Amino acid sequence: MINFNKKSFGCFLLIAIILVEILLVLDIHSDFPNFMIPKKTSALNYFYFSQSGFSKTMLVVYCIAPFIYAYHYVEAKNNGFQNMMITRLNSQRRYFNRMLLTNAVYVAVTFCVLKSVQLVTCIIVINPLDFKDAIALKAKAPYVLSTNPFINLLLFFVLAILGEIIFSLLVIMVGLYIENTVLFLGSGLMLSLLGVLIPALANNALNLKSSILMNSLSISTLISPGISTLGAYAPNYGALASYGLSVAFYMILTIGLYFVWHLRFKEA
C-alpha cells in the first residue's frame, strides 16, 4: 500500500537489533565490570531491569516507534499520496484499517524479536535461566503479573507487545496532526517523555504513596507492565489492574485523536 516492503523492514530490524544489543551489553559491562557476574545473579531479573523506565534500551524502543511503519503512513498523508490510495480503495475507513493492521503486524514482530534477543543475551552473558528462583518476584508481590516466574515472563511478553502496538497507534494519531514528516520522527521520544514525566510529577506534587491512577497514566505501565511503579511505597493493587486501566486510557486517547482528525478531514 505504501512504499514499505519486507526487505526494508528486515534492514531496519537488523539495525535495531544491533543497536539494542550494543546498549544492553554496555549496560551489563557497566553493572558488572569485566563481566565478572556473581553466580546468583538472575538473568531474568536483569532482563526485566533492562525493560524499565528510561534505560538505554528503552530509549531506543521509544525512539524507533515512528520508524517501524508509521513514518511511511504519515509521509503519505503529508505528500498527498494517501488521497490517491483512498480513492483507489473507494473508502477512507478501509484504507485506514489496512494501515492499522499492517502497522500492528510490523510492530508486534519488531518487539517480539527485540525482546527475545535481549532475553537470550541476558541468559548467555549473565547466567542460565532459572524459573525456580522466584525470590525477586515474591519480594515485589503483588505488583507482578504472576508470582509464577514462567507465567509472569509469558504475560510480560504478550502484554508488553500489545502495549507497544497501542503506543505505536498513538504515535500515528499524533502524526496525523504533524505536517512536517521530519518533525514527526521525534514524536515517539516526546510522547514517552510526557507519558512518564507528567504522571510522575503529578504523583510527587500530590504526595501520593502509590496511586493506581497515576501508574495507569504512565506510559511505562503500558509498555513495561509489572516492572516498576510510581511512588515510594509498594502498591496495594495488582499489575494487571494497573495495566488494564493504562490500556483503556491510551486507547481512548488514541481513538479520540482519530475522531477529531476524521471530522477535520471530512470538513476539508
Phi-psi region of 94 (alpha: psi -120 to 50; beta: other; left: phi over 0): alpha
Write down the pTM of the prediction.
0.89
Q: Who contacts 10 (Cβ-Cβ below 8 Å, separation ≥6)?
A: none
| Residue 145 and residue 153 in contact, taking contact as beta carbons nearer than 8 Å | no
Residue 111's Cβ-count burial label (10 Å; 0-12, 13-18, 19+) is: buried
| Residue 254 and residue 169 in contact, taking contact as beta carbons nearer than 8 Å | yes
Q: What is the 3-state secondary structure (H, E, C) of 82-140?
A: HHHHHHHHCCHHHHHHHHHHHHHHHHHHHHHHHHHHHHHHHHHHCCCCCCCCCHHHHHH
pLDDT at 1: 42
Q: Who contacts 110 (Cβ-Cβ below 8 Å, separation ≥6)?
A: 13, 16, 64, 68, 164
pLDDT at 162: 96
Query: What is the C-alpha to C-alpha distance for residues 88 and 85, in angstroms, rounded to an integer?
Result: 5
pLDDT in tens, the chain (268 residues): 445 677 888 888 999 999 999 999 999 988 888 888 888 888 888 898 888 877 778 888 888 888 888 888 888 887 777 677 777 777 677 777 888 888 899 999 999 999 999 999 999 999 887 777 655 565 555 578 888 888 889 999 999 999 999 999 999 999 989 888 888 888 888 999 899 889 988 888 887 777 888 889 999 999 999 887 776 655 767 889 899 999 999 999 999 998 888 787 655 5
pLDDT at 100: 86
